[in-house]
Amino acid sequence: MKIGVYTLATIAILVLASSLTYASDPSPLQDFCVTINDPALFVNGKFCRDPMLATANDFFFPGLNIPRSTANPLGSNVTLLNVDKIAGLNTLGISLARIDFAPYGLNPPHTHPRATEILVVMEGIIYVGFVSSNPANRLFTKILYPGDVFVFPEGLIQFQFNVANTTGVTFSGLNSQNPGLIVIANNVFGSTPPISPDVLTKAFKLDKNVIEFLQKEFSMTT
């Protein structure tokens, strides 16, 4: 009886451990599942096209080597290649992002609620960081140079800031076909409809006039 209990416990631990090694998305049950874009259908993911109709273009995106414009107040531009850009990514549990930075450009504090991210620097000097969850709220930061790699755990607030006076470029892999994006300031101050200023005044310990100013500013940029 004791051996049987230990065996069951061992199996349970192994099953749990193996489940934690999966990507953020469910594993595919076929070689691939190229998406069908039908706005009338809503599922957790995308519906599959007949695999016999798939072509190489369903797994292809050109021109990621081309710099993107950073002519905006933040001085950054994120090109995300998720399932909406590459139909063949459906069910494969992965996506890719290129971030272009102007000198001193910022990818502001944000989270990816469905993905861990691994980032490599190609150009620039990038100050990166993430903050752990409550109650510790620990800040983990690093200055990255070309060739350096950094990992951002799933769901935690993160940022990237080019501290060089030259342009910057990074590439990131994310373990979801649709990582999701929550830009903290945009979501809090630019929501539709807006969050009550009374709530934000108390939460951020700021004057109500400041809160209303921030809501007005972010409502025009989201």
For 166, the domain range is 1-180
Binding-site residues from annotation for oxalate: 107, 112, 117
Letter string b/e over residues 137-172, b meaning 16 or more CB atoms within 10 A of that residue's CB: eeeeeeebeeeeebebebbbbbbbbbbbeebbbbeb
**Residue scoring higher pLDDT (84 or 12):** 84
Known binding-site residues equal 107, 110, 112, 117
Per-residue model confidence as pLDDT tens digits over 176-203: 999 999 999 999 999 999 999 999 999 9
In whole angstroms, what is the distance from residue 59 CA to residue 89 CA? 7
Same domain? 158 vs 203: no
What does the pLDDT average to over 89-105?
A: 96
* Burial category of 198 from C-beta neighbours within 10 Å (exposed 0-12, middle 13-18, buried 19 and up): exposed
What confidence tens digit (pLDDT) does each residue in 119-167 have?
A: 999 999 999 999 999 999 999 999 999 999 999 999 999 999 999 999 9
CATH number where 144 lies: 2.60.120.10
Do 153 and 211 share a structural domain? no
Q: In terms of domains, do 45 and 143 share one? A: yes
The structural domain count of the chain equals 2
pTM for this model (two decimals): 0.83
Measured N-to-C along each axis, helices 208-219 and 197-204 cross at an angle, to the nearest 10 degrees, of: 110
Binding-site residues for Mn(2+), please?
110, 112, 117
Distance CA 160, CA 70 (A): 14
Residues 77 and 159 in one domain: yes
> 63 and 39: one domain?
yes
